[in-house]
Each structure stands twice: as C-alpha cells, then as structure tokens.
Amino acid sequence: MDGATNFQWNVHMSRLQLEEFPESIDGEEVRRLMLSHNFISIIPRSIEQFKNLIELDVSSNRLKYISDEITSLSRLKKFTAKNNLLDNESFPKELGKCQQLEVVNLSGNQLTEFPMELTKILTLRELYLGGNHIGNLPVELDNLQNLEILYLGGNQLVEIPATLGNLASLTSLGLSDNKLKQLPSELAKLKNLQSLSLHNNLLTTLPPQIIKLKYLGELSLRGNPLVMRFCRDLTYQPPSLLELAGRVIKTKGIAYREEDLPTSLIRYLSSACKCVNPKCKGVYFESRVENVKFVDFCGKYRLPLLQYLCSPNCAGPSPIFSSSSDSELSEDDEQVPVSRIKKVLLG
C-alpha cells in the first residue's frame, strides 16, 4: 500500500486547531479518522459520507452536538468522544443502530443519565463513561453480554443495579469516585472479573459473596469508611427491653397470635435479623454489634468485611465466612501481614 492510499485509509488531523468537521476529503475511502484536540463543536450530517469508517476519534474538542447521521456508519467499531461538552440532549438517540460498535468512550462529558441507546449495542466490549454526572444505571445493562470493560468512575452513582451481575464476560469494573454505600451481592456472579475499582466511595461493608471471585487480582478500597475503620471498630449499643423481649420470643420460638398484638409490634417482630455466626441461633433488631474481620481472598491478601452480630461474644475466633476454597477468617487481626493489607487498601 503506497503512502497516498495509506493516507486515504487513515486520516490523522489532530491538533490542527480545526473549528469545523473536515469535508474536503474523500470520506468513502477513509477507515480511521483521528480529529482529537481541535475546536470542533458539531459532528454534522455530512458524517454519513464516511460510510466505511471503522474508527472515529473526536476526543478533546468542544463537541456539543452529534448528528443522527452518525448512525449510518454501519461499519463503525470504535467511537471515542471523551473530554467534550456532550449532554443527554445532544447525543444521537439512535446510536443503537450502530450494531458493529465494540468500543465507546464518552468519559469527561456532561451526561447526567446513562444513554439508554447504548444498551442496544449488543456488540459492545468496552464502555467508558467516567467523569460525567450520571446518577443511576439502567437494569437493561445486562443486555451487554459481550461487555468486558465497564468504567463508570467519577460519577454520582449511589447504587448499582443487581442486573450488573449478569455481565458474564466482564473482566474490569471501575466504580471509583462515586457515592456508593453498598454493593449488590449479585456482583459475585461476575466469575471472570479481574479488576474491581471501588476507591473513594462511601462503602462501610462489602457483600461477603465477593470472596467467590477467584480471578479477581486487583481490588481498590482506599478512601472508604470501611477502610478507615476496619482495623479496630466494635460498636455496641445495649439493647432495649423491647429488643430483649423480642429476642427471647424469636430464639425460644414462643408462639403468639397476631390478632392479639398491635400491628406495630407484629412488624417489629418480623424485622428480626439472624446473627451471621452459624454457631449462634441469636437474632437482633436494632442493637447489633458491628465488627470487622478479615477473609483470605484468593490466597493473595486479607479482605476486610463488616459483619453484624447479635452479641460481642459472637466476635470470637471461630470462622464466620468462608470461600469455596475453604479460606477462613484470621483468628487474630494482628497476625495479618501488612503487605497483604496494602494490596487491599492501596488497590
């Protein structure tokens, strides 16, 4: 392939201070169009002339609008538009028609909602939406069964839908710098997950099922309340007389007729939670013991997990959680090697 033909196939026009989308080239011949670090604000309707385009990079421009004609690029596999000014209103509503897309990078924009059209692109393997203002994720995320990398760091997420656990091909999940207080236990279904980034959130606990992720080699937890309190935090509030009475009723199996009790008391008795210690038959209502223990994680490091117990006596050396490979809790937190702990805390 000579130089002229190569130029036609791969057009590099980055850092040329372009203010408009180029239209003076033979778009039909172009396969890769690189336009990053310019001043382009609009991808116009003329984008349709690049009908054989495989890769389009318009990152680090001033992009505010993408014409719907981009959906005519039936061969497009990689679309990068990070670090622009795109919001949900300026985004093409029919992007889901690009059924060859494998990589989409929209990080560093002004999206406040997860673009639903992305859930229709079943060929997606990598999706980057970090550094936006997204507050919620759709349950339809599990449509993306080929997704291997999902990066959502630096958003406003307060929860994660359980359906995310259905992404069987996922190897890397980035959720750092959000407002997550807890994670769904369904994440344990991500059997191929290798990297999980959770730093700088509001996590006080992790689902114990996470120890089943045998391929997970990178785990970042720094900047979470869980990390800041995990070494020595035992909070215990003496139970009220109501709770003590409720515990006796539940643990002794004392029979009662609902029609003889107030509705509020029936509701209270129904809220009893079992102690996580399998050797304990106790329950708690509101006065629980919060205690952090370590779990052997893949034989690489100790993972701090917050457990809820009914009594300080349940915080003894007996193992509370175990993985499928018979990994057990450390009997003495002080015996945990510092080098192992750092792998968890520093990510």
Torsion of the alpha carbons at 260, 261, 267 and 272, rounded to the nearest 10: -90
Using an 8 Å Cβ cutoff, are 200 and 222 in contact?
Answer: yes
79 within domain boundaries: yes
Report the 3 state secondary structure along 19-37. CCCCCCCCHHHCCEEECCC
pLDDT digits (tens, 9 = 90+) for 208-224: 888 888 888 888 888 88
- State the number of CA atoms in the 13 A half-sphere of 109 facing the CB: 32
The confidence score (pLDDT) of residue 259 equals 86
Q: In this structure, are 265 and 128 located in the same domain?
A: no
329 within domain boundaries: no
Q: In this structure, are 118 and 220 located in the same domain?
A: yes
The DSSP 8-state label assigned to residue 51 in this structure reads T
Residue 289 pLDDT level (bands cut at 50, 70, 90): confident
The DSSP 8-state label assigned to residue 96 in this structure reads G
Last residue of a domain, one of 229, 258, 275: 229
Q: In this structure, are 149 and 268 located in the same domain?
A: no
d(C-alpha 285, C-alpha 268), whole Å: 8
The confidence score (pLDDT) of residue 325 equals 32
Residue 322 has pLDDT above 70, yes or no: no
CA distances from 74 to 29, 78, 91, 96, 133 (A): 14, 12, 18, 11, 29
- Burial (CB count within 10 angstroms: exposed 0-12, middle 13-18, buried 19+), residue 96: middle
Q: In this structure, are 70 and 219 located in the same domain?
A: yes
pLDDT digits (tens, 9 = 90+) for 111-158: 999 999 999 999 999 999 999 999 999 999 999 999 999 999 999 999
Q: In this structure, are 73 and 12 located in the same domain?
A: yes
d(C-alpha 290, C-alpha 315), whole Å: 9
Least confident segment among 69-73, 103-107, 288-292, 319-323: 319-323
Residue 237 pLDDT level (bands cut at 50, 70, 90): low
66 within domain boundaries: yes
d(C-alpha 319, C-alpha 340), whole Å: 19
58 within domain boundaries: yes
Q: In this structure, are 132 and 266 located in the same domain?
A: no
d(C-alpha 235, C-alpha 212), whole Å: 28
Using an 8 Å Cβ cutoff, are 69 and 50 in contact?
Answer: no
Helices and strands in the chain, H and E counts: 5, 16
**Token digits of residue 112:** 């406040």
Q: Does residue 19 or residue 304 have the better pLDDT?
A: 19
CATH number of the domain enclosing 35 = 3.80.10.10
Q: In this structure, are 222 and 246 located in the same domain?
A: no
**Which domain covers residue 142, as residue numbers?**
3-229
Residue 293 has pLDDT above 80, yes or no: no
Q: How many folded domains does the chain comprise? A: 2
Read off the pLDDT of each residue in 78-105 and give the average, rounded to a whole number.
94
106 within domain boundaries: yes
315 within domain boundaries: no
The confidence score (pLDDT) of residue 284 equals 92
Q: In this structure, are 116 and 245 located in the same domain?
A: no
Residue 229 has pLDDT above 50, yes or no: yes
Q: In this structure, are 109 and 246 located in the same domain?
A: no
What pTM value is reported for the model?
Answer: 0.74
Read off the pLDDT of each residue in 52-71 and give the average, rounded to a whole number.
96
Pairing of strands 283-284, 273-274: antiparallel
Rounded to the nearest angstrom, the gap between the alpha carbon of residue 74 and the centroid of all alpha carbons in its chain is 30
Q: In this structure, are 56 and 166 located in the same domain?
A: yes
d(C-alpha 309, C-alpha 290), whole Å: 6
The confidence score (pLDDT) of residue 334 equals 43
Least confident segment among 100-109, 155-164, 280-289, 334-343: 334-343
Least confident segment among 28-32, 135-139, 276-280, 342-346: 342-346
327 within domain boundaries: no
The confidence score (pLDDT) of residue 296 equals 64
**Token digits of residue 341:** 């702990």
Which of helix, strand or coil describes residue 233? coil
Highest mean pLDDT among 152-161, 243-252, 271-280, 307-316: 152-161
Last residue of a domain, one of 184, 203, 229: 229
The confidence score (pLDDT) of residue 93 equals 85
Angle between helices 241-252 and 263-270 (to 10 degrees): 70
Q: In this structure, are 154 and 264 located in the same domain?
A: no
Last residue of a domain, one of 229, 262, 296: 229
- Burial (CB count within 10 angstroms: exposed 0-12, middle 13-18, buried 19+), residue 133: middle
Which of helix, strand or coil describes residue 263? helix
d(C-alpha 31, C-alpha 77), whole Å: 10
Closest by Cα among 328, 332, 320 to 299: 328
Using an 8 Å Cβ cutoff, are 297 and 261 in contact?
Answer: no
- Neighbouring CB atoms inside 10 A of 95's CB total 21
d(C-alpha 291, C-alpha 234), whole Å: 5
d(C-alpha 200, C-alpha 134), whole Å: 16
Q: In this structure, are 248 and 104 located in the same domain?
A: no
195 within domain boundaries: yes
The confidence score (pLDDT) of residue 347 equals 37
The confidence score (pLDDT) of residue 297 equals 62
